[in-house]
């Protein structure tokens, strides 16, 4: 059942996972599973995230001090790690968003040169 | 620390994640099992996730390197004997190489520790007729004349060294003093730690070396301004040189003098720098009035910027010609027999050591080659044993780079362990060389493991490790791995090529070893020849000491003679002393024999030695012809040595002839055998022995005492020293030792070379033997089945032993033949290091070949015995 509709999904471009994680954390601290869910839901299930790949990405962001980690209690009352955007991460998000928009515009112009 | 905390929670977090996802799936209506599987699928490979997260914190390459290193350690730990042999061989080779490199670097390559060392030149005169290879030294008048005329040299200095008695706090000692003039301080960049340097024109001032300051003045700063007497003249201590200053310029040494450092510096009295020329009676009289000065000078100078050595030589040539034209021969030392030479100071200092060091360098490179051949051999054997392992790893999907990296890890581990041990070895070797032979080579004391040497060694061992790692891996990768998997016996025809390669390597090793052994053998034979003495001459039983009669109380002959007579009569009165005698000065000059014209000018050039009659008795030299002088003082009779007689004998009988030259004028009473009293490796030269009482007066008068002891009853050396010192406590007694010790000191450079060459040759021999043992033992193991078959077919144990020994002999023989051929070509390069031995001495070649054959066969004997004890049943069943 879960394999159905896979053909409509798009594999994430290299590096875009970081952007998506940062964007997700703008609304406040979130734990790992919830981040995965949020990305899938917000992209209307178009973006395919192999959920496991979230974790190396999260650690990469911690190492760069773009996010921090804290203990908390999840919605179903379990202990969980909550990830929070640091001020540095917030700035980085702005940079990444700009970069992404530039890229997207550029690709759009290439695809519709008549415009 | 932070990373560990993050990673510790990772597993828990992944579990939570999977549970949450499973719960979501159950909420969507899946069964728990389905839900769990779906969650796992969504998540992906947990192990990969964990590894990747881990890799965020730890770089991948580092992990893999650590993994390779761990694996390499384990692999080598399983093969301790292999690893130990390789590490030991490498350590030996690297240690010896590094030690020799650092000596070469210090002696030949390192710039002199003086400012602008590449522009410093050395100037000397030499005799065209007599020993043109030896440097003489320049007279003060000549120095003054040309140093004022030169344009090519921007500054020049002259100095001379003398051993002079110094009286400090009422205690006499003999110190080596350098007398200076010109810009010596500027040329050497010497700085004081205390006080000041003396200036041109100053006299009776003294600058102490730091060593003397510590030794005689106990490092007391109040030494400055104190008055110290040198040879009876007062000198004021004006300064102490910095601890780091080293006097490494060439020194003038008389036969029997020990090479030593300069203890103190004094100015040459300015009045002596003009006239009269040194060495004449007027000059001697002046020295008695103004203070000590050396007979001859050494000259160092700095080339003006942009002036080449050739230009300076041309200028010197014209100055020299004009000096000869403008002055009478009494005013300068140059005459038609005198030439001069100018060379870079660095080259002059390296001079004699250069050839010896190059031979040693070649020798140590040979040892290194043998070590490399040995290690290559071991690695080939090991690679063969690992063929299956590699095949299995390749079959399991290991990539080529991964396999090569594994091999590389092992060999780099081996080579870095070997390198570390080698450096340790080199460190000890260098400090031992510096301690044992400090004066064997100029500047040897400066040898140490410094950065360029360390870098060179590291590069060498990394390169070795790289080659030895990659080569076997490539070799294996290209061989057919499929066969390796199928093949479960150790022997296969494919290994014959490898065996042949290994045998060639062994032959090369043996060939290199025989070259080294021949070199060492030739040097040993030279050494033995040097130690051969005429019958009756036994340097072990002859005690020597020296005294320097100085100061105004010895300004005239009667005082000096009465001192000498007192000392000799007191010594001869002691039971246990067979004879005692003295040698005063030695004059080198032409000796004419009446009624005989000498064959060549050189042959008539003799050393006239001023001795007491007891000297020749103390030496125990046998009389060959004629008789001992009839009177006991030999005032009008002289003795000559065999070389002198030989140089004249074709013109008739020598005994009874009247001879004259220098202070000598007397009848030849007898001929004594040639003997060595100072320089062990000097060829005997013509000598005439005349009474010291006829020799001209000098002050200080340096006297060598020679005392022949009588075996058991011999008095103690300290007791004799006391007895002689008691005659006049103000005169320092020094260099007390047996003649044997003093002779063996005279060949310290040769001992140094022989020792190193010996060490290299023995290491080479041992490595070659280990190599041949290894290959024969290995081939016996490989041939176990063949041996079994042969035995089953009726070969007895002797046949089998013979077969194995023959195999060893074949390898040895080819190595020896090649080695002997190479040795014949190479040994002539070391002829300057030999004494009385031809570079192609057949006896040495024979002895060395025999030694190698015997030891090689002994090395094969073990495996041969093992082969003969093979049980044919077991060997055959083993298949």
Is residue B370 pLDDT above 70, yes or no? yes
Name which of B109-118, B494-503, B558-567 the model is least confident about.
B494-503
Burial B673-685 (b: 16+ CB within 10 A, else e): bbbbbbebbeeeb
Q: Which residues of B are less than 8 Å from A32 in CB distance?
A: 13, 16-17
Q: How confident is the model at residue B264 (pLDDT cuts 50, 70, 90)?
A: very high
Task: Tell me the nearest-neighbour CA distance from B10 into chain A, angstroms.
Answer: 8
Q: Is the bond leading into B401 cis (omega within 30 degrees of zero)? A: no
Name the least confident of B164-168, B313-317, B422-426, B485-489.
B485-489
Instruction: Give the residue with greater pLDDT, B685 vs B344.
Output: B344
B396 by Cβ neighbours in 10 Å (0-12 / 13-18 / 19+) ranks as exposed
Which of residues B462 and B700 earns the better pLDDT score? B462
Place B420 in a pLDDT band, splitting at 50, 70 and 90: very high
For residue B1, list chain A residues with Cβ-Cβ distance below 8 A.
none
Separation between Cα atoms, residue B706 and residue B728, nearest integer Å: 18
Q: Are B83 and B378 in contact (CB under 8 A)?
A: no
In this model, does residue B809 exceed pLDDT 80? yes
Give the whole-angstrom CA distance, residue B108 versus residue B348: 10
Tokens 């000799």 correspond to B568
Give the separation between CA B838 and CA B835, rounded to whole angstroms. Answer: 8
- The structure tokens listed for B821 are 């051929």
Average model confidence (pLDDT) across chain B: 83
DSSP letter (8 states) at residue B297: B
Among A36, A53, A59, beta carbon nearest to B6:
A59
Given a cut of 90, is residue B242 above it in pLDDT?
Answer: yes
**Under a CB-based contact definition with an 8 Å cutoff, are residues B654 and B671 in contact?**
yes
Residue B332's pLDDT is: 57
Question: How high is the pLDDT of residue B348?
Answer: 85
Lowest-pLDDT range of B48-62, B108-122, B275-289, B306-320: B275-289
pLDDT number for residue B428 = 92
Contacts of B754 (CB under 8 A, 6+ apart): B520, B523, B524, B527
pLDDT of residue B599: 52
Q: Does B23 touch chain A (CB under 8 A)?
A: yes
pLDDT value for B198: 92
Q: What percent of chain B has pLDDT over 70?
A: 89
pLDDT tens digits along B197-226: 998 888 889 999 999 999 999 999 999 999
Confidence of residue B477 (pLDDT cuts 50, 70, 90): low
Q: Which residues contact B654 (CB under 8 A, 6 or more apart)?
A: B593, B596, B625, B640, B644, B645, B648, B668, B671
Cβ of B46 under 8 Å from any chain A Cβ? yes
Phi, psi of B283 (to 5 degrees): -70, -45
pLDDT of residue B480: 61
Residue B810: pLDDT over 80: yes
Contact predicate B92/B370, CB 8 Å: no
- Coil, strand, or helix at residue B412? helix
**To 10 degrees, what angle do helices B46-57 and B32-43 make?**
40
Q: Would you say residue B866 has pLDDT above 50?
A: yes
> CA neighbours within 13 Å on the CB side: how many for B532?
11
What integer pLDDT is reported at residue B645 of this predicted model? 86
Per-residue pLDDT tens for B614-664? 898 888 888 888 888 876 667 788 898 888 888 876 656 778 888 888 788
Q: Which of residues 212-251 of B touch A (CB under 8 A)?
A: none
| Chain A closest-CA separation from residue B37 CA (Å) | 11
Provide the percentage of residues in chain B whose pLDDT is more than 90.
15
pLDDT tens-place string over residues B816-852: 999 999 998 888 888 888 888 888 899 999 999 999 9
Q: Is the pLDDT of residue A80 over 70?
A: yes
On the question of pLDDT at B281 being above 70, the answer is no
Sorting pLDDT into bands at 50, 70 and 90, what band is B601? Answer: very low
Q: What is the mean pLDDT of residues B499-515?
A: 86
Residue A5 banded pLDDT, cuts 50, 70, 90:
very low
Percent helix, strand and coil across chain A, each to the nearest 5: 55, 15, 30
With a cut of 50, say whether residue B303 has pLDDT above it: yes
pLDDT of residue B492: 46
Asked if B40 has any chain A CB less than 8 Å from its own CB, the reply is: no
Is B20 a residue whose pLDDT tops 90?
no
**Closest CA–CA distance from residue A21 to any residue of chain B (Å):** 16
Tokens of B542: 């002859």
Q: Is the pLDDT of residue B2 over 70?
A: no
* Among the partner residues A2, A52, A78, nearest to B44 by beta-carbon distance: A52
Q: What average pLDDT does this structure show over B128-147?
A: 68
pLDDT at B179: 92
Shortest Cα distance from B53 to chain A (angstroms)? 4
Q: What is the pLDDT of residue B211?
A: 92
Q: Do A52 and B48 touch (CB under 8 A)?
A: yes
Instruction: Tell me whether residues B53 and A1 touch, CB distance under 8 A.
Output: no
- Residue B300 confidence (pLDDT): 92
Instruction: Please choose, from the candidates B413, B414, B499, B506, the residue with its C-alpha nearest in 3D space to the C-alpha of residue B93.
Output: B414
Q: Testing the interface with B: which of A33, A36, A45, A76 to mutate, by most B Cβ within 10 A?
A: A33
List of chain A residues whose C-beta atoms are within 8 Å of the C-beta of residue B46: 52
B539-597 residue pLDDT tens? 888 889 988 887 778 878 888 888 998 999 998 888 888 889 998 888 777 787 776 55
A102-111, B80-89, B388-397: least confidently modelled range: B388-397
Predicted local distance difference test score (pLDDT) of residue B61: 74
**Any A CB within 8 A of B48 CB:** yes
CB-based contact B126:B339 (threshold 8 Å): yes
Helix (H) or strand (E) holding B514: helix B495-530
Q: Does B60 touch chain A (CB under 8 A)?
A: no
| Cβ–Cβ < 8 Å for B73, A79 | no
φ, ψ (nearest 5 deg) of residue B690: -125, 165
pLDDT value, residue B129: 58
**pLDDT at position B188, please?**
92
For residue B168, say if its preceding peptide bond is cis, omega within 30 degrees of 0.
no
Q: Is the model's pLDDT at A2 over the cut of 50?
A: no
Residue B604 has pLDDT above 70, yes or no: no
Q: Measured between alpha carbons, how far is B143 from B166 in angstroms, rounded to an integer?
A: 28
Q: Does B9 touch chain A (CB under 8 A)?
A: yes
**Which of B293, B313, B344 lies closest to B146 in space, CA to CA?**
B313
Q: Which of residues 155-214 of B touch A (CB under 8 A)?
A: none
B20 touches A at CB < 8 Å: yes
Which pLDDT score is estimated for B493? Answer: 45
What tokens does B549 get? 């009669």
Distance CA B639, CA B687 (A): 9
Interface predicted TM-score (ipTM) of this complex, two decimals = 0.84
Distance from CA of A107 to the nearest CA of B (A): 30
């Amino acid at each position: 059942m879960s394999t159905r509709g896979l053909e409509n999904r798009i594999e994430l471009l290299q590096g875009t996972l970081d952007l998506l994680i940062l964007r997700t954390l703008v609304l406040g601290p979130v734990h790992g599973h919830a981040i995965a869910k949020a990305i899938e839901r917000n992209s209307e299930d178009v973006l395919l995230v192999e959920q496991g790949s979230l974790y190396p990405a999260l650690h990469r962001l911690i190492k760069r001090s773009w996010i921090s980690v804290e203990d908390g209690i999840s919605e179903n009352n379990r202990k969980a790690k909550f990830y929070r955007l640091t001020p540095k991460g917030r700035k980085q998000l702005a940079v990444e968003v700009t970069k992404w928009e530039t890229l997207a515009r550029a690709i759009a112009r290439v695809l519709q040169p008549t415009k | 620390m932070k990373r560990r905390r993050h990673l510790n929670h990772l597993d828990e977090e992944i579990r939570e994640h999977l549970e949450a996802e499973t719960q979501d799936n159950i909420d969507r209506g899946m069964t728990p099992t389905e839900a769990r599987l779906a969650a796992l699928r969504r998540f992906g490979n947990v192990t990969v996730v964990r590894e990747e997260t881990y890799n965020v914190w730890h770089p991948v390459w580092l992990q893999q390197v650590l993994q390779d290193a761990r694996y390499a350690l384990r692999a080598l730990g399983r093969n301790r004997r292999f690893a130990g042999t390789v590490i030991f061989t490498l350590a030996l080779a690297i240690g010896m190489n590094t030690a020799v490199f650092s000596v070469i670097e210090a002696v030949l390559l390192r710039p002199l520790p003086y400012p602008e060392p590449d522009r410093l030149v050395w100037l000397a005169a030499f005799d065209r007729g007599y020993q043109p290879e030896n440097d003489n030294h320049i007279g003060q008048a000549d120095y003054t004349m040309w140093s004022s005329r030169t344009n090519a040299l921007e500054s020049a200095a002259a100095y001379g060294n003398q051993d002079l008695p110094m009286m400090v706090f009422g205690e006499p000692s003999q110190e080596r003093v350098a007398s200076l003039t010109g810009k010596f301080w500027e040329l050497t960049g010497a700085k004081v730690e205390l006080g000041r340097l003396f200036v041109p024109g100053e006299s009776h001032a003294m600058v102490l070396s730091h060593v003397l300051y510590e030794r005689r003045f106990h490092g007391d700063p109040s030494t400055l301004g104190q008055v110290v007497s040198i040879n009876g003249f007062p000198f004021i201590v004006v300064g102490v040189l910095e601890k780091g200053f080293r006097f490494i310029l060439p020194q003038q040494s008389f036969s029997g003098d020990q090479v030593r450092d300069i203890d103190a510096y004094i100015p040459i009295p300015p009045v002596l720098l003009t006239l009269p020329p040194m060495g004449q009676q007027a000059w001697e009289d002046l020295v008695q009035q103004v203070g000590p000065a050396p007979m001859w000078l050494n000259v160092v100078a700095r080339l003006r910027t942009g002036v080449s050595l050739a230009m300076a030589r041309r200028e010197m040539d014209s100055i020299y010609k004009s000096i000869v034209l403008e002055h009478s021969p009494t005013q300068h030392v140059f005459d038609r027999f005198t030439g001069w030479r100018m060379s870079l100071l660095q080259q002059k200092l390296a001079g004699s050591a250069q050839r010896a060091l190059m031979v040693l360098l070649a020798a140590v490179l040979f040892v290194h080659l043998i070590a490399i051949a040995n290690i290559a051999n071991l690695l080939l054997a090991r690679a063969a044993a690992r063929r299956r392992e590699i095949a299995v790893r390749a079959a399991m999907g290991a990539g080529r780079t991964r396999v090569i990296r594994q091999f590389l890890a092992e060999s780099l581990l081996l080579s870095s362990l070997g390198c570390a041990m080698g450096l340790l070895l080199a460190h000890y070797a260098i400090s031992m060389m510096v301690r044992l032979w400090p004066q064997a080579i100029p500047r040897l004391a400066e040898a140490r493991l410094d950065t360029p040497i360390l870098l060179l060694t590291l590069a060498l061992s990394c390169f070795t490790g790289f080659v030895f790692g990659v080569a076997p891996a490539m070799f294996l990768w290209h061989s057919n791995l499929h066969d390796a998997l199928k093949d479960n016996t150790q022997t296969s025809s494919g290994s014959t090529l490898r065996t042949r390669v290994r045998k060639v390597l062994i032959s090369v090793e043996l060939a290199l070893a025989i070259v080294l052994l021949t070199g060492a053998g030739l040097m040993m034979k030279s050494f033995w020849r040097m130690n051969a003495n005429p019958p009756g001459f036994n340097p072990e039983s002859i005690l020597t000491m020296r005294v320097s009669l100085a100061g105004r109380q010895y300004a005239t002959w009667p005082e000096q003679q009465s001192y000498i007579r007192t000392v000799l009569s007191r010594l001869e009165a002691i039971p246990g002393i067979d004879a005692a005698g003295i040698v005063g000065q030695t004059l080198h000059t032409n000796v004419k024999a009446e009624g005989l014209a000498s064959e060549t000018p050189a042959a008539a050039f003799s050393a006239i030695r001023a001795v007491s009659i007891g000297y020749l008795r103390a030496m125990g030299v046998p009389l060959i012809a004629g008789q001992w002088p009839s009177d006991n003082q030999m005032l009008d009779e002289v003795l000559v040595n065999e070389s002198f007689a030989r140089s004249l004998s074709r013109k008739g009988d020598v005994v009874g002839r009247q001879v004259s030259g220098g202070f000598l004028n007397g009848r030849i009473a007898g001929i004594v055998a040639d003997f060595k009293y100072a320089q062990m490796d000097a060829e005997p030269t013509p000598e005439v022995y005349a009474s010291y009482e006829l020799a001209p007066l000098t002050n200080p008068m340096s006297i060598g005492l020679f005392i022949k002891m009588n075996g058991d009853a011999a008095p103690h050396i300290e007791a004799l020293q006391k007895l002689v010192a008691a005659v006049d406590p103000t005169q320092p007694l020094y260099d007390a030792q047996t003649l044997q010790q003093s002779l063996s000191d005279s060949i310290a450079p040769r001992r140094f070379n022989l020792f190193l060459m010996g060490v290299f040759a023995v290491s080479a021999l041992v490595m070659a033997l280990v190599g041949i043992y290894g290959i024969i033992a290995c081939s016996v193991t490989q041939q176990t089945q063949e041996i079994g078959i042969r035995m089953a077919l009726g070969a007895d144990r002797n046949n089998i032993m013979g077969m194995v020994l023959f195999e060893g002999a074949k390898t040895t023989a080819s190595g020896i033949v090649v080695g002997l051929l190479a040795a014949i070509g190479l040994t002539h390069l070391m002829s300057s290091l030999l004494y009385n031995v031809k570079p192609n001495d057949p006896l040495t070649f024979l002895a060395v070949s025999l030694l190698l054959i015997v030891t090689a066969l002994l090395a094969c004997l073990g495996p041969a015995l093992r082969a003969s004890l093979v049980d044919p049943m077991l060997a055959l069943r083993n298949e």
